[in-house]
Structure 1
Amino acid sequence: MNDDHRFPEPGTTDEELADSLLEEELRQAAAVLDPVPDTLLQVALDAYVLHDLDARIAELTFDSLVDALPVRGMPDTPRMLTFSAGEVTVDVEVTEDGLIGQVLPPQSARIEVLGGPRTALPVAVDTLGRFTSDTPPAGPFALRLRTGTEVIVTEWLRA
């Protein structure tokens, strides 16, 4: 089907044309009755723009919300996350006060906290691979790790 929905392509069957018209009517109805919120659309666009084509994706290998057993008497325990990309591991603790983490093996790196419509928030990494951020993530977030030779981006998670 061409981009101009007013004129079907040659060889289009009546059934395909009816399906196309129905799809267009449903799109218009959804746009009127249940439009995508502007903020959600902006977050999606910003997430796409922040995508690094040459970056390796760090896979989430541990999430305390899913993988850990609850501890009695500890209602507000911090969320622990572990991401892995090849030989590089990033451990992160998410608290109400921000992020605390470490890159393993320890190496010089730059980390940026990505979070929707905000710009990337740079975070300093010390010689032991440790980092902290005093700004807690709000909503979806990811980490971008830049080492001397590569860029690694974690999966996006909701804080």
Structure 2
Amino acid sequence: MSMNDEELLAALAEARRSAAGVPDRIREIGRSAFAWRTVDAELAALSTEAPAGARAEPAAVRALTFAARAVTIEVEVTDEALHGQVVPPRPGEIELHDRTGVVAVAQVDEVGWFVLSPVPRGMFRLHLRAGGTLVVTEWVTI
């Protein structure tokens, strides 16, 4: 059973109308799922351990630690930039991605330091290429 041009155009128009009703949050999640194209990368998980005696009240995230098997990416959030260090130190390149793609790129120096700006608004993740490996962090919002 094949469609003629008019039936195909009608089906496409209906699909477009249906997609218009999808909530923005669901669209954002769908775009984030596109990250599967980096399935070969090692995922660095956000450390969620709270310090002893920490209060249960919500607080602004100012420091992030992403731990992968062989590397940790530590990030401090300032008003102007993300200041970070790769541990153990290794030179490379780090990219800041939001849901639209790459928004900033920085070199990681020989002691592991990097600075990315501007500070992302909304969901973001980091892609680290160093020593022949790719490490991708979880999506996070600050």
- For normalisation by structure 1, the TM-score amounts to 0.63
Once residues 141 and 131 of structure 2 are traced to their aligned partners in structure 1, the CA distance between those partners, rounded to angstroms, is 28
Equivalent residue letter for 1:55 = A
User: Does residue 60 of structure 1 match 2:46?
Assistant: yes
Counterpart check, 1:127 vs 2:127: no
The CA deviation string for residues 122-143 of structure 1, in whole angstroms up to 9 with x for no partner, is 1221111000112001100111
What is the one-letter code of the residue matched to 2:91? S
Q: Deviations over 1:44-91 (max 9, x none)?
A: 34423333010111111247xxx2436xxxxx9761111111121110
Q: Which has the higher strand share?
A: 2
Number of the residue aligned with 1:48: 33
Instruction: Specify every segment of 5 or more residues in structure 1 that has no aligned partner in the other structure, as ranges.
Output: 1-30, 71-75
* Residue identity in the other structure for 2:32: A
Stretches of structure 2 lacking an aligned partner (at least 5 in a row): 1-17
Aligned residue in 1 for 2:79: 96
Whole-Å Cα distance in 2 between the matches of residues 121 and 47 of structure 1? 17
SS at match of 2:33: helix
Structure of higher CA gyration radius = 1
Q: How does 1:1-159 map to 2 (within 5 A)?
A: 35-37=21-23, 41=27, 43-51=28-36, 52-62=38-48, 67-68=50-51, 69=54, 79-159=62-142
Decide whether the 8 Å contact of 1:62 with 1:80 is kept in 2. no
Tell me how large the CA RMSD over aligned residues is. 2.7
- Name 1:16's counterpart in structure 2: none
How many residue pairs get aligned? The number is 119
Q: Deviation digits for residues 81-128 of structure 1, max 9, x if unmatched?
A: 111111211100122212000001110121111111243421221111
Q: In structure 1, how many angstroms separate the alpha carbons of the residues matched to 2:30 and 2:103? A: 14
Shift in Å, 1:149: 2.1
Letter in 2 for 1:122: V
Assess if the C-alpha contact under 8 Å between 1:78 and 1:95 holds in 2.
no
